[in-house]
Structure 1
Amino acid sequence: MREELVHVSRLAAAGADADLRLYVSRLARRYRSKDPSLSQELAASLKERPARARPERFAPGTAAAAVEDGSLAVLRTTLPEDLNLEPPVFAPELETQLRRLLLERHRAADLARHGLRAASSAVFVGPPGVGKTRSARWIAAELGLPLHSLDLTAVMSSRLGQSGANLRSALDRAKAEPSVLFLDEVDAIAKRRDDEGDVGELKRLVTIMLQELDEWPSTSLLLAATNHPAIVDPALWRRFDVRVTFTVPDGQVLSKAIQRFLGDDADLAQYAGVFNSVFAGESFSEIERSLLTMRKAHILGDGDTQSIVAEVVAERARALSRDERVLLASALTGAGKISQRRASELVGVSRDTIRKHAKDGAFAGAN
């Protein structure tokens, strides 16, 4: 405890606010079983004022002095205690991949004894809104490490040669201590070098990224995400230890996501079957946005439950095929709150069609 106190004093005297908060956070976890009261007091001290949204400034001439370009911070740092700890909704195969990555990181010493190295980099591939950023936050929280997010807008400078310096400085900062570095939309700085439309500055950024991945320390984890894997330089693509593919939710994953986003709203939950049809093929973020909007309208009394659901159904039904609209109409009437007449109006399917399929029992499963 004496050594810990001295270390805390040194960090405070040096003004290393982010490092100090990270160390206190680790102490709180360390004493959770030994001294619960002390652990709670340490954790409470971290909440007395909000964590900085960006790392502290560095003295001119230091390795991290160029972490900022003008007034834009290149790195945004989030400490472990400020990360969202709730696991995202994963497809089984996706969860298996991510947990294997975590297992390697947790048991890196066991691998090293056998001459093996835990994965230190991974690239997330998939369309927007399918959980890539949220998964990076969850991984950092599971590892108990700060999350550095690279602001690509700030990296790209109008001054010739400055973009490369910005990128190197940001990466140096992320490597200075154990952490998780997240590069969202990495294709913006890692495009194929055979693209004749790109200037030399962008090609130099690819070279920097290649060098950094080759030399990335085992103490930190580099995560990148892209919606456009085809334009990422092949040489960079090969440098990542793990490739993880994210897809839009379907089946049980879609149902689980809907249940989570609905929370404790029992009135809206009775339309879960309807939402499974309405939101098929949409991303997690779009589903969450729509359901949270409905929940707020319901809580605030902005229309009854049926009208709130009907508005969402009518908005999306136009994009569905006829067979999908028939299924949706059956799900609406099966919920027991919407008549066949109203369902017909909402989805554009005749009442005779709805009645016929209901009579034949063709949609018992959907109901």
Structure 2
Amino acid sequence: MRTEILKIIEGGLERNSEKVKSYAKLMSEKLQDQGEEKFATRISALLDSKVAAHPVYLDEFMTKPVDQDSRLDMVEVSMAGKFSEEIILPDITRMKIEHYVESLKGRDKFLELGLDLPESLLLYGPPGCGKTSIAHYISERTGLPLVTAKLDGLISSLLGSTAKNIRKIFEYAQERPCILFLDEFDAIAKARDDEHEVGELKRVVNSLLQNIDKFNTNSILIAATNHEKLLDPAVWRRFSNVIEIPKPSQGEIEKLLKNNLKIVKATFLKDKKKIDIITEMLVGMSPSEIKSVCFNSVKQSILKDEKTISYATFLYQLYLSKGSYNEQNSLVEFLNTSGVSQISISKTIGISQRQVRNILEGKGDEIKNEKE
């Protein structure tokens, strides 16, 4: 709780009563969890006697910073709650994230030794691989609210206002016990040597770096980007922890399939040959894209009143997800090559077995030409 004590002192020196109340409330909750009920009750009673009936810790997040021109909120606040989503990651990546979480939870030990270490984290990797979910997971593990900067409210048509908006967001987060999350970070942290960027935007990056430097003391910053190569080199030095979130391997894809298809029975998941075919086809896709294929397969099975998701149904949805359904013939050939029987092909895409047989025997084009 040394972090909370320092923040309470800072708030007192700054005459910022909201900051004092927020961290005092957080400290009271931690004392309660550690069995120090008497001391926690005294703190809560003192807070209750000085504030209105509603909880300050929750209420103060309601007054969000807004862009002066658009009047849009510049942040979204998610209170720490139970995180139900399972994140499938490589073992080494998961280990790095857990190590980061443990370092956050053990900050008091570092402060006791006189070490005031910055705990900023940069997540990078392809879109749809779980960077935002990881930020929410860290929020749940630490018990701290997640304050997510909204870029549509942050970036103003007037670049001078954008720098002011950045400062507002950092000040808002610094006054409250929370994690500040900057998603799509490359939108405001582009390299200053980019010849296509105007001078004013480069000054915005300078402002961002200055705010990060001030914020890193006793505060938690997480940023995420899909385009790490666009980031200014100086940005990387501001983050004490950098973790790549890659696309899943075949082993991780199999876990994703089992996790996302558990609502409806999928018998093909127990067939190693079929699983190998599917996972190989899914290599290169993000967890988000794989989840979408699974969801569409479940939906199709439910609409057809089928009790299980068939191998053919899943491959059909996978084929559609790749945007390669130009004609019926290519779909039939794809399913057949993947080991789907002619009967299953007929049932899955809604054509007769004779049509399937004609297509596979090369007669599909002849029949089509005759009709034309």
TM score, norm. by length of structure 2: 0.69
In the alignment, which residue of structure 2 is the partner of 1:125?
A: 124
Tell me the amino acid that sits aligned with residue 211 of structure 1. Q
2:291 pairs, out of 288, 293, 309, with 288
Q: Deviations over 1:291-329 (max 9, x none)?
A: 11211222233678445324224436897xxxxxx9996
Q: What does 1:147-296 correspond to in 2, within 5 Å? A: 147-267=146-266, 270=269, 273=275, 274-296=277-299
In the alignment, which residue of structure 2 is the partner of 1:56?
A: 62
Q: Deviations over 1:321-357 (max 9, x none)?
A: xxxxx999686459xx958xx9xx99xx989xxxxxx
Query: Aligned partners of 2:98, 2:209: CA distance in 1, in Å?
Result: 26
TM score, norm. by length of structure 1: 0.69
Query: Aligned partners of 1:53, 1:312: CA distance in 2, in Å?
Result: 45
Contact conserved, 2:116 with 2:218, CA < 8 A, in 1? no
- Change in CA separation of 1:219 and 1:268 when aligned onto 2, cut-off 3 Å: farther
Give how far 1:150 is off.
0.6
Q: What does 1:330-349 correspond to in 2, within 5 Å? A: 332=339
Query: Aligned partners of 1:72, 1:134: CA distance in 2, in Å?
Result: 24
In the alignment, which residue of structure 2 is the partner of 1:72?
A: 72
In the alignment, which residue of structure 2 is the partner of 1:323?
A: none
In the alignment, which residue of structure 1 is the partner of 2:140?
A: 141
Contact conserved, 1:53 with 1:78, CA < 8 A, in 2? no
Q: Deviations over 1:81-115 (max 9, x none)?
A: 2x634341111010011011111111112233444
Query: Aligned partners of 2:28, 2:77: CA distance in 1, in Å?
Result: 17
Tell me the amino acid that sits aligned with residue 156 of structure 1. I
Query: Aligned partners of 2:296, 2:34: CA distance in 1, in Å?
Result: 38
Query: Aligned partners of 1:232, 1:80: CA distance in 2, in Å?
Result: 29
3-state secondary structure, aligned to 1:266:
coil
Q: Identity over aligned residues, as a percent? A: 27
3-state secondary structure, aligned to 1:112:
helix
In the alignment, which residue of structure 2 is the partner of 1:354?
A: none
Tell me the amino acid that sits aligned with residue 315 of structure 1. L
3-state secondary structure, aligned to 1:134:
helix
Give how far 1:190 is off.
0.8
- Change in CA separation of 1:55 and 1:278 when aligned onto 2, cut-off 3 Å: same
Tell me the amino acid that sits aligned with residue 132 of structure 1. K
Tell me the amino acid that sits aligned with residue 308 of structure 1. T
Query: Aligned partners of 1:68, 1:263: CA distance in 2, in Å?
Result: 47
| Ranges in structure 1 where 5+ consecutive residues have no aligned partner | 1-15, 36-51, 59-63, 320-325, 352-367
- Change in CA separation of 1:177 and 1:264 when aligned onto 2, cut-off 3 Å: same
Give how far 1:234 is off.
0.6
In the alignment, which residue of structure 2 is the partner of 1:315?
A: 320
- Change in CA separation of 1:133 and 1:160 when aligned onto 2, cut-off 3 Å: closer
Give how far 1:264 is off.
3.5
Contact conserved, 1:119 with 1:242, CA < 8 A, in 2? no
Query: Aligned partners of 1:172, 1:187: CA distance in 2, in Å?
Result: 21
Give how far 1:71 is off.
2.8
Q: Deviations over 1:230-252 (max 9, x none)?
A: 11111112111111111111122
3-state secondary structure, aligned to 1:254:
helix
Contact conserved, 1:104 with 1:119, CA < 8 A, in 2? no
Deviates more, 1:163-172 or 1:210-219: 210-219
- Change in CA separation of 1:32 and 1:119 when aligned onto 2, cut-off 3 Å: closer
Query: Aligned partners of 1:172, 1:113: CA distance in 2, in Å?
Result: 26
RMSD value, Cα: 4.5
Q: Deviations over 1:256-309 (max 9, x none)?
A: 111111124223553771532332210010111111121122223367844532
Q: What does 1:15-94 correspond to in 2, within 5 Å? A: 27=29, 30=32, 55-57=61-63, 69-81=69-81, 84-94=83-93
Contact conserved, 1:101 with 1:119, CA < 8 A, in 2? no
Query: Aligned partners of 2:217, 2:267: CA distance in 1, in Å?
Result: 47
